[in-house]
Structure 1
Amino acid sequence: MKTQVKAPVLTVGALLTLGVAAHAQLGAWSELPSLPEPRSGHYAGTSHGALIIAGGANFPVPLYQGGTKIWYPDVRVLPRGASQWVSTPPLPTPIGYGASVSDEKGLICIGGGDANTHSTAVFRLEWTGGALRRSELPALPQTFAFGAAALLDDVLYVIGGQETPASTQALDVLWSLDLKRKGATWKVMAPCPGGGRILPVVSAQNGALYVWSGASLAPDDAGKAVRTYLRDGWKFSPKGGWQAIAAPPSPMVAAPVANLGSSLICVLGGDDGALSSRSAELKDNHPGFSREVWVYDVRSDAWTRSDTLPVSLVTTNAVTLGHSIIIPGGEDRPGHRNPRVLKWDAK
């Protein structure tokens, strides 16, 4: 497997300049209106220029103080140009940690679950005429949460995850659904050669699916799932199958990811596992997850250090809206959620 890390540090704007247009100016981080409440594990995406988040979870009382995770059914919309989030009718049940992607209609929500069960449901949320409309898509082959998804040429791919909250092994699956074919059902594809994983970084770019990192699961002596942080890279082509690609410089578990132009993939932060064994000890003194921004070039199979995040938010999505990358809330340190909505503008 080829692993290459280049030394020069470029701004995300400079890379977007190279990947999109020679005249694009350098960008900067700013913020949109914060979420009404802090959470992570929510579905996040866009519909007709509006930003949508749905579901998710948080700890109203810190975990180290005996708090428990609470799941939510809320759906919030930030219409184009709005200064406040709009509340819409909620999801039928509280749910979080599913996968989500955006297509030309709206936000596609995939799987998810709560403390007791995971779901097979797949549905689309579309913001139209000032209201939110839900439409159902074919259910997954099995229950699923803590995985990832990407949309490649109108085909929806779902990879990895966890079948139930008690599962001690990650799902070793790749499923696909052709959204343009009437009556299509999910296909079971060849799984990633790197094995099952939760919370991988997944993106579709330049005709292929790219998969990095995540964490494998195994039972400990008490029968509880223990993570092993992965640092590997894989490319899936619908015609050519799987092949190994350059591994990231460190694990990037649960990192937001966004495409830049037609050949670059931007990974924003992530959990590298360096402090995973010290969370209970550090409590509020935990410094948070990695703030490094890395960009992968599909042409050269190489990584470049690019930028530094204002704050690292994991178990959330990076949403592309025009030439902006938006990260709506997320987990900024173990057990702690952040309502900030980060926005990076190309110009």
Structure 2
Amino acid sequence: MVIPSVVTAQHLTAKWEWQFLASIPDTMGYAGAYVGTVNNYLLVAGGANFPDGIAPWDGGKKIWTDRTFVLKEKEGKWQECSPLPRRMGYGATVSYEGKMYVAGGSDHEQHLDVLYEISWNNSTQDLGYRLIGKLPVPLANCASVRIGHYWYILGGIRKADAKTAENSCWKLDLRTPESDWIPVAVIPGKGRMLAVSADMDNQLAVFSGVALENGQREYLQDAYLLGSDGRWEALPHVPVAVAAGTGPAYYDRGLRSVFVFGGDDGSLANSNLKDAHPGFSNRILQFDCTQREWFCYSDMAVPGQDKIWVPVTTGSVYWKGSVVLPTGEVRPGIRSPQVLMGNLILDNYEN
């Protein structure tokens, strides 16, 4: 695919190298799982799939889960742990000081406003849960990122049949996670769900997403940065939409660049390809924060494999020196238990 106005980033002596970690112990995998770390272990919790193997366009029923999986080491195997307090997915996640927090999302009946703290019990070698608060409103399909000790949640939708998406932005001080959420200036442009957020050099950035016009999807390419004065500044548009891309995006301090992995550009959204859908983008986009310019960095690939399925509607985690993209949706209605791990290899450089 030729992308107008995108320059291949050949000026960098660097490359991404990808490999697979052990797959989560589920034959299908899940979309919308809460992904993060607890006690420096990788945690995948909740989400939904179609366990009967029937595609949604053939009448398959989407089922939410409360299952949780923990990976302690990169070379290890996943351990299934105590389930979430409820079946849920498609919400916001953050990790902070050994604990993981999950907020909002949905279940089979409604969108949620719950806020749980997840911790690790060394005695039982298992997870513990504590309901500590609520979001200001029910939200699912929102973006989420931590900057310092603040957790930001952006956009989303309040109910499954929403006709418009939210342009709200909230933050929570994780030093006192039972305190109230603080409103932040609303995101400019159209309300959006499935956006990609980033910590861009200690500033909040949001890219792309999907707007709803009377329930109809519009794929967005605009991007914004929240300044120190509390106002949003427009950034150069993303070359192609990256809706539902793995988030938050990865920021590399040495390169002063944000990397966005995969996403749905919307080009096949109305194609009705069903089982013939080729999968979502495996493109890596790089935003150079110094030049304020986007580059098409490369495509994601694993040595020895002609094609890898890059997931959407899942989280990305910087864990033990690598970016990890666990499970997620690889084609419409199709999940995968695979777990991708990427490393940015740079000559004469330390992050």
Deviations 1:5-26 (A, max 9, x none): 5423459x945xxxxxxxxxx5
Letter in 1 for 2:162: S
Q: Does 1:269 align with 2:262?
A: yes
Quick check: 1:100–1:148 contact (8 Å CA) kept in 2?
Answer: no
Alignment of 1:119-158 (within 5 A): 119-129=112-122, 130-158=125-153
Partner Cα separation in structure 2 for residue 240 and residue 136 of structure 1 = 30
Q: Which has more helix, going by share of residues?
A: 1
Equivalent residue for 1:113? Answer: 106
Partner Cα separation in structure 1 for residue 143 and residue 92 of structure 2 = 5
Partner Cα separation in structure 2 for residue 259 and residue 335 of structure 1 = 30
Alignment of 1:150-189 (within 5 A): 150-181=145-176, 184-189=179-184
Q: Does 1:69 align with 2:69?
A: no
Tell me, which stretches of 5 or more residues in structure 1 are unaligned?
16-25, 220-224
Deviations 1:38-64 (A, max 9, x none): 111000011233110111001232112
How far residue 152 of structure 1 moved from its aligned partner, in angstroms, is 1.2
Partner Cα separation in structure 1 for residue 178 and residue 227 of structure 2 = 24
How far residue 79 of structure 1 moved from its aligned partner, in angstroms, is 1.2
Distance 1:174 1:110, change over 3 A: same
Tell me, which stretches of 5 or more residues in structure 2 are unaligned?
301-307, 346-351
How far residue 28 of structure 1 moved from its aligned partner, in angstroms, is 1.6
- Select the residue among 235, 238, 263 that pairs with 1:248: 238
Equivalent residue for 2:206? Answer: 211
- Select the residue among 250, 266, 271 that pairs with 1:258: 250
RMSD (Å) for aligned C-alpha atoms: 2.0
Q: Does 1:40 align with 2:35?
A: no
Equivalent residue for 1:21? Answer: none
Distance 1:28 1:180, change over 3 A: same
Equivalent residue for 2:304? Answer: none
Equivalent residue for 1:323? Answer: 321
Quick check: 2:93–2:100 contact (8 Å CA) kept in 1?
Answer: yes
Deviations 1:203-244 (A, max 9, x none): 11212111111001122xxxxx22111110111124241110
Partner Cα separation in structure 1 for residue 218 and residue 175 of structure 2 = 37
Alignment of 1:301-316 (within 5 A): 301-309=292-300, 310-316=308-314
Alignment of 1:192-231 (within 5 A): 192-219=187-214, 225-231=215-221
Give me the TM-score of the superposition, normalised by structure 1. 0.88
How far residue 128 of structure 1 moved from its aligned partner, in angstroms, is 4.4
Letter in 2 for 1:32: L
Distance 1:183 1:101, change over 3 A: closer
Distance 1:102 1:233, change over 3 A: same
Equivalent residue for 1:237? Answer: 227
Quick check: 1:10–1:307 contact (8 Å CA) kept in 2?
Answer: no
Equivalent residue for 1:342? Answer: 340
Instruction: Give secondary structure in 1 for the equivalent of 2:271.
Output: helix
Partner Cα separation in structure 1 for residue 74 and residue 209 of structure 2 = 35
Distance 1:283 1:51, change over 3 A: same
Instruction: Give secondary structure in 1 for the equivalent of 2:61.
Output: coil
Instruction: Give secondary structure in 2 for the equivalent of 1:64.
Output: helix
